[in-house]
A and B are shown apart, each in its own frame.
Chain A
Amino acid sequence: MPDTDPRPLTIDIDGFSRHARLTVAPPGSWQPKQAGFVVTQGGPAGPAAMIDTQVVCTTAENESDGWRHWHVKIYRCANGADADALRGHLHRQAAALRRVNSYLPAPRRRQAIEPPWAVVPVQVVRGDGGLEKVEGVVETRLGVPEDDILTRLRQHLPAWLGDAARPEEILFAVSPRIDELSWEDTNAHPATEHLEAFTTLAAGLDQLHAHGWVHCDIKPDNVCRCTYGGRTDYVLIDTDAATRADPPPRRVRSSPRYTYRGIREHDDDLSPGLLYAQDRFGFLTVVLSALAGREWVDRVLLAEDPEDRDGGRIADHGDRVARALAALWPDDRWQPLRDVLAEPFGTGQQGQIALEHPEPWAAGWLARLRAAEARCEDPVRSTVPRPAAPVSWLVSDADVERVRVAARAHPAGRNQRVRLAYSAIAQGAQAAATRQFRLAAWGWGAALTGGAAIVALGAFVIGR
């Protein structure tokens, strides 16, 4: 659809003291995805209804306070009643997930929306311009006069909206856009440096379960990196599948590859325990993808095991996971780490029983994993001195430090810190080159000219 209206479609988000104003970009893809939501009405025990929607994703830029880059999901429902029900569902999801984040320890958090996050916070925005509140903390609305909304929607949203689309059938879900993780294919040594960044996610997962909610679709694609306030955390995104664990939904919207064995076997008879285990199994695959490599996890652990006549996977059996890990990292020093990694895939107290139990599990298991990593002593590493930094008289420590300072300079851009750092390094390199150019040019120029002057004057004096 040609965009003839020069005025952008905007979304206003009000927190305690901040006001974000998002300018929505037209979607890159005009093809909507079909999505179905099982929505309960009148509380968790109320009747469930299936709502079919069309979903298109796009982005938005914040021209005011707070996060600069945002992700926007646009939902179109069949009618206003469906949109109302879906809005209630998304609203409950958003509030539950926000509550999880608020329980994470954050002494420096000034506003509810600020990190640390276990789950990226989502704001729901009504297409009809009405005010939407999440737990009285954050308010959202389209930043256009109500009578102007239909025109703006038609001018800036995809063609699939159609001329008959009405604003009350449209919903937006906006969330801060954070950095994607780049996964290694296979790691010949466990990349344990990732473990620290999972701490917040593990604590948040336990909080989520303690509040009776489950994410249901934890997988490497749904984990991103958030860098904020001097720390880096891995954070869950895409909360469309999140639901209450009790009563359990009739079916789970998980990705088949990352689905827990118990749910594959009992998908018509779900229990809260199976749903907790689904999240924990997803968390295990994500941690293993970080440590061992994503390609390895997909190819070895999650593909069908040719030795299994029932079509199972290696990930469905603790002993086979242990063997696969031993083949990947055969060095004996990794034995403590391999043991703790393989345990949850088994059927014992540390395996299936712990995974399906309502008690918190993720933070405790991650702590045990980190303790096991500390026991994996490297006899070589302790004797080889760290390579010393090359002594460079051309570049000072202050020049290098300037890169970090520049990368942290923009408060809203902390999640884009790496890109800011690239820019700062490029500028620092140009500045260093120019400085040395000037020093050398003036130095040599002055020395040669001055030298000639001294020689000439000397010759003049001697000649007299």
Chain B
Amino acid sequence: MLADLLARLRAALRDRVAQRCGHPEDTFAAYQHKFGRWLDAGPQSPEDDELAEVRVAVTGYLTAAAREGRRWGTATGVTLGGLGAVITFVTIRALS
């Protein structure tokens, strides 16, 4: 039941991340040739302003998604953890 709940939460999170971040094309099409240049450049290539701009944008996109996941995870963890804490506390008190 817990696994089922977590699976549903993860599915809802997927939808939420897609909604929150939007399709990557909407975000990165604006960078045009800069985005292509960044893809062509390897990690060892010297990074100029354009490449740095795209890297920052990609990092920002992924960070927004990660932050959304962390927020949902925190809410879920606090709820389930609180429930677990009550059950644990009551159980130990009852047994003692």
Interface size on B, residues (CB 8 A): 62
The chain A residue with its CB closest to the CB of B78 is: A444
CB atoms of A430 and B40 under 8 A apart: no
A439 to B70, CA, bound (A): 8
A418-B35, A422-B25, A425-B28 known; A395-B63 Cβ under 8 A: yes
A231-B40, A432-B66, A434-B10 known; A448-B56 Cβ under 8 A: no
Which residues in B have their C-beta under 8 angstroms from that of A389?
Answer: 52, 55-56, 59
Which residues in A have their C-beta under 8 angstroms from that of B29?
Answer: 182
10 CB contacts below 8 A, A to B, read A197-B33, A232-B37, A389-B55, A392-B60, A394-B66, A429-B24, A434-B14, A440-B69, A445-B80, A449-B84
Please list the 6 inter-chain residue pairs (A to B) with the smallest Cβ-Cβ separation, ordered nearest first. Answer: A444-B77, A440-B73, A448-B81, A433-B69, A452-B85, A429-B65
The DSSP consensus for interface residues of chain B is: helix
A90 to B85, CA, bound (A): 79
A425-B61, A452-B89 known; A441-B66 Cβ under 8 A: no
Proximity bits, B48-64, A CB within 8 Å = 1, else 0 = 01101101101111111
Partner of B43, one of A401, A434, A455: A401
The chain A residue with its CB closest to the CB of B85 is: A452
> What is the distance, in angstroms, from A446's C-beta to the closest C-beta of chain B?
7
Q: Would you list which residues of chain A between 382 and 425 have a CB under 8 Å from chain B?
A: 386-387, 389-390, 392, 394-395, 399-401, 403-404, 407-408, 417-418, 421-423, 425
A386 to B56, CA, bound (A): 12
Which residues in B have their C-beta under 8 angstroms from that of A387?
Answer: 52-53, 56
Q: Say yes or no: is A442 at the interface (Cβ < 8 Å to chain B).
A: yes
Proximity bits, A442-464, B CB within 8 Å = 1, else 0 = 11111111011101110110010
Partner of B38, one of A404, A436, A447, A459: A404
CB atoms of B66 and A435 under 8 A apart: yes
CB atoms of A400 and B84 under 8 A apart: no
CB atoms of B77 and A460 under 8 A apart: no
A456 to B92, CA, bound (A): 6
Which residues in A have their C-beta under 8 angstroms from that of B42?
Answer: 230, 404
CB atoms of B86 and A433 under 8 A apart: no
Which residues in A have their C-beta under 8 angstroms from that of B39?
Answer: 227, 404, 407-408, 417-418, 421
A387-B52, A460-B96 known; A428-B85 Cβ under 8 A: no
Which residues in A have their C-beta under 8 angstroms from that of B86?
Answer: 452
> What is the distance, in angstroms, from A364's C-beta to the closest C-beta of chain B?
24
CB atoms of A428 and B62 under 8 A apart: yes
State the B residues within 8 Å of A (CB): 6, 9-10, 13-14, 17-18, 21, 23-25, 28-29, 32-40, 42-43, 49-50, 52-53, 55-56, 58-74, 76-78, 80-82, 84-86, 88-89, 91-93, 96
A444 to B75, CA, bound (A): 9
Which residues in A have their C-beta under 8 angstroms from that of B35?
Answer: 418, 421
Given A386-B52, A395-B63, A433-B68, 18 other A-B contacts at CB below 8 A? A193-B34, A230-B40, A232-B33, A389-B56, A390-B63, A392-B59, A392-B60, A394-B63, A422-B24, A433-B13, A433-B66, A440-B71, A444-B76, A445-B76, A452-B85, A456-B93, A460-B92, A463-B96
A407-B39, A445-B77, A456-B93 known; A429-B62 Cβ under 8 A: yes
Which residues in A have their C-beta under 8 angstroms from that of B6?
Answer: 441
CB atoms of A194 and B13 under 8 A apart: no
Which residues in B have their C-beta under 8 angstroms from that of A421?
Answer: 24, 28, 35, 39
The chain B residue with its CB closest to the CB of A183 is: B32
> What is the distance, in angstroms, from B64's C-beta to the closest C-beta of chain A?
8
Which residues in A have their C-beta under 8 angstroms from that of B82?
Answer: 448
> What is the distance, in angstroms, from B13's C-beta to the closest C-beta of chain A?
6
Q: Say yes or no: is A152 at the interface (Cβ < 8 Å to chain B).
A: no
The chain A residue with its CB closest to the CB of B68 is: A433
A394 to B59, CA, bound (A): 10
A418-B36, A436-B70 known; A430-B17 Cβ under 8 A: yes
Interface centre among B28, B34, B76, B81 (most CB of A within 10 A): B81
The chain B residue with its CB closest to the CB of A197 is: B33
CB atoms of A448 and B69 under 8 A apart: no
A232-B40, A390-B56, A400-B55 known; A437-B85 Cβ under 8 A: no
